[in-house]
Structure 1
Amino acid sequence: MTRKTIAFGMGAALLGLAAAGLPAQTCTRILWNTNKLAVVAGRTMDWPESTEPILTVFPRGLTHNGGYVGAHQTETVNPAIWTSRYGSIGVTIYGIGTADSLNERGLAGHMLYLQATDFGPRDPSKPAVHAGLWLQYLVDNAANVDEALALLDKIQIRPAQAHGHQATVHLALEDASGDSAIVEYVAGKPLIHHGRQYRVMTNDPSYDQQLALLKKFDFSHPNDEIPLPGNVNPRDRFQRASYFAAMLPEPKDQRQAIAGILAIARNASVPFGAPYHQFGVYNTEYRTAIDLTDRRYFFELSTAPNLIWADLDKFDLSPGAPVMELNPENIDLSGNVTTDFKKADKAPF
């Protein structure tokens, strides 16, 4: 596995998930690991229709099969089968995988779109995990970024198809220590940017190219006259989020820390009706924020007036405990919704 570390003070880390033939999820991820209070991360999910997001709590001891996309087996030769070591909370997408997640050890991750993604030909000697379960596999089995990256050497990520569309994704990881990694598969090879400096990420072009474009901007003397790129394409969002994230003031409490990360996410969000080249029109569907230090998960649906959150430590994560779910489409939800989760009839995957 190729690991690339680029010394750049305003690096980035965000991922996107999309399906070919539909407008791309051109999401944004921001990590704030430079304050003294807590490690916090935020992301936007951009999509032209509902991804059917369900907030889901997974206990330890669940068995998953990386060869199944929903009820359809896509990998018959050496699919990865694992039992989760850690409990987690996250947002499922179309009921086939996890787009955003935090586990009980403080490892979090985000899947987002990268058009350049190429997982390469199948290597049957490695257990297969389809792209929709890529993140779930890591939060199930790793306690931090280092462990997650080591696990990637042991499996092969495979394309996933849902609703008749092919998914292409890259992944951003962070942990409670503030470590960060961006994982992309380009031309069949894994490319990893590993280090605390990779705090902001969007989508295409590949991460190397995004960093090169960012270097052309002089943000050393920030002021309100700097002509920041203001459109909704991934390059502009990458540069804008990097600029504003670098100036977040030291928070006094968790409320200020979450407000700070959401302020950047909202600035990088896509307004309703905004055009996007080659993909038509898409909007920000929802935003999440994660306090990795205190393991608190925040969710904000763009069409709902309220921010909601849940405390992962308050759930029963022991083996045999039920999977718990919450549908965020209920606009009556507000504030701490930990006790509003209900037992799922069965695990979604």
Structure 2
Amino acid sequence: MRTHMDRFACVFAMGAVLGLSLPVAEACTRVLWNENKLAVVTGRSMDWPESTEPTLVVFPRGIARSGGNVGPEVVVTENPATWMSKYGSMVTTVYGIGAVDGLNERGLGAHLLFLTATDFGPRDASKPGVVVSMWAQYVLDNAATVAEALEILPTVQIVMAEARGRKGTVHLAIEDASGDSAIIEYIDGKRVVHHGREYRIMTNDPSYDEQLALLAKLDFSNPSSDLPLPGNVNPRDRFQRAAYYTSLLPEPKTEQEAIAGVLAVIRNVSVPFGAPYKGFGVYNTEYRTATDLTNGRYFFELTTNPNVIWTELSRFDLAPGAPVKMLDPHDVELAGDVSGKFHTIEKPF
């Protein structure tokens, strides 16, 4: 495991696209704000050329899982990981096959974002296999802190999988209620870990080492409205812009101000409708989330709806045997606290 530091990693990105991406696609930003005195909060965007069919799902403890399936398809045929969830969680799903974003009841957050360079290496059947679409959920189910997550992840192997003809090339950002943070990538078949409170910003390509090197070349020591700042929608510009604005956030007086702060940064690095993305086409921001890890609240903003919605994990029954609950955020009538709007479903994955 390698640990890397950078003088301006005072802004640590977390973004997440589930690894169901086209070879030329790049998307998403994650921002962690762990320097204020009020709460540890995160923000993220999901940028995608089509609807990822997001739903908000609450899982109780005691959910039986298999790491070998992508939906009904069995991907890991030999030694798939199996586990029973230790912690309840609230997640945003992608295509109904896995979680790309969310938190658990102990205040651990997880976010999957696209990374072209991702290479999990050849399958090693001596380790239990976890398909990439279950990577974030595996962490939320089994770890209470970043340190615990980093202890258990080497005991399994993350396995590449496809859905809708797209490979799951992603990296993972995790953070906890203490403000600890880690970015986990697989480059050339080897795990690379950036562990520390200073790793607050994450976008997509290039690899995190290269993103930090590019950021170190910039001088943000004298911020002003005349400071030249990268302004396009590519992941390098978004990384640098998110780092700059996160470092300038004023101390919040309330949770409302803390959430507003991270959402302000995430909106600044979102991809407007119609903005060109390489040669592939348009990659609009589909939704934004904000997470208060200190108080267990989760905020969601669909870019095609006019309202921010939120819910509190502690308001749900998370005891083993409790029902799985789901909310479709596309209902334009939803606004404010929607904890009472969830309905019971069968376990989606």
- TM-score between both structures, scaled by the size of structure 2: 0.98
- In the other structure, the counterpart of 1:297 is 298
- In the other structure, the counterpart of 2:12 is 12
Is the contact between residue 159 and residue 167 of structure 1 (CA under 8 Å) also seen in structure 2?
Answer: yes
The Cα of 1:338 is off from its aligned counterpart by 0.3
After superposition, the C-alpha distances for 1:136-179 in whole angstroms (9 at most, x for unaligned) are 00000000000001111100000121112211110000000000
- In the other structure, the counterpart of 1:178 is 179
Matches of 1:116 and 1:21, distance apart in 2? 12
- In the other structure, the counterpart of 1:48 is 49
- In the other structure, the counterpart of 1:190 is 191
Equivalent positions of 1:1-349 (< 5 A) are: 2-9=1-8, 10-17=10-17, 18-21=19-22, 24-344=25-345, 346-349=346-349
Structure 1: gaps (5+ residues):
none
After superposition, the C-alpha distances for 1:195-231 in whole angstroms (9 at most, x for unaligned) are 0000011000000000000011101111111100000
For 1:64, the aligned partner's letter is R
Matches of 1:233 and 1:56, distance apart in 2? 30
The Cα of 1:11 is off from its aligned counterpart by 4.6
The Cα of 1:101 is off from its aligned counterpart by 1.0
Equivalenced residues, count: 347
- Determine what percentage of the aligned residue pairs are the same residue: 61
Matches of 1:75 and 1:22, distance apart in 2? 22
3-state DSSP class of the match of 2:13? Answer: coil
Matches of 2:24 and 2:206, distance apart in 1? 16
For 1:173, the aligned partner's letter is I
The Cα of 1:6 is off from its aligned counterpart by 1.4
Matches of 1:179 and 1:250, distance apart in 2? 19
The Cα of 1:21 is off from its aligned counterpart by 3.3
After superposition, the C-alpha distances for 1:236-276 in whole angstroms (9 at most, x for unaligned) are 00000000000000001000000000000000000001001
- TM-score between both structures, scaled by the size of structure 1: 0.98
Structure 2: gaps (5+ residues):
none
Matches of 1:119 and 1:330, distance apart in 2? 38
Matches of 1:60 and 1:276, distance apart in 2? 40
The Cα of 1:24 is off from its aligned counterpart by 2.4
